[in-house]
Amino acid sequence: MNYQQKPKGLKRIYLAAGHSARAFNWLLKNETAFKQEILGAAVLVAISLWLELALVERLMLWLSILFVIFAEVVNTGIEAAIDRIGPEHHPLSGLAKDLGSLAVTISLIIAAAVWLAVLAS
């Protein structure tokens, strides 16, 4: 498909939503870390609804959770691309996977800091 033939407008949005849903379902079926983060997100969102918080505080908590999920999606994408290249060990492949893992770790630290700050205020 060349550039001029790509879908535009609402059709593009509809197709993109389908691709995203397929990726989400794949992650739920195949990635243990993603499943754990979704479960943790559900628990934390429930807790945030139980707490008496201002709207902006609740939004901060939810965005910190979404950031963790975003980092996991990107990390899984990096891992999939590296695995597609080949199964042999290469230092740069290992580095790419390690950097993706670090991104998830940093997102978890950010989320914990946001939760601690909101709960302490």
Q: Give the residue numbers marked as catalytic.
A: 72
Residue 89 counted as an annotated binding residue: yes
Residue 84 counted as an annotated binding residue: no
Residue 37 counted as an annotated binding residue: yes
**Which has the closest alpha carbon to 116: 67, 72, 71, 57?**
57
Q: How far apart are CA 77 and CA 33, in angstroms?
A: 13
**Which has the closest alpha carbon to 24: 36, 35, 39, 13?**
35
Residue 31 counted as an annotated binding residue: yes
How many other CB atoms are there within 10 angstroms of residue 111's CB atom?
23
Residue 12 counted as an annotated binding residue: yes
Annotated binding site, which residues?
12, 31, 33-37, 58, 72, 79, 88-90, 97-98, 101
Annotated binding site for a divalent metal cation, which residues?
31, 79
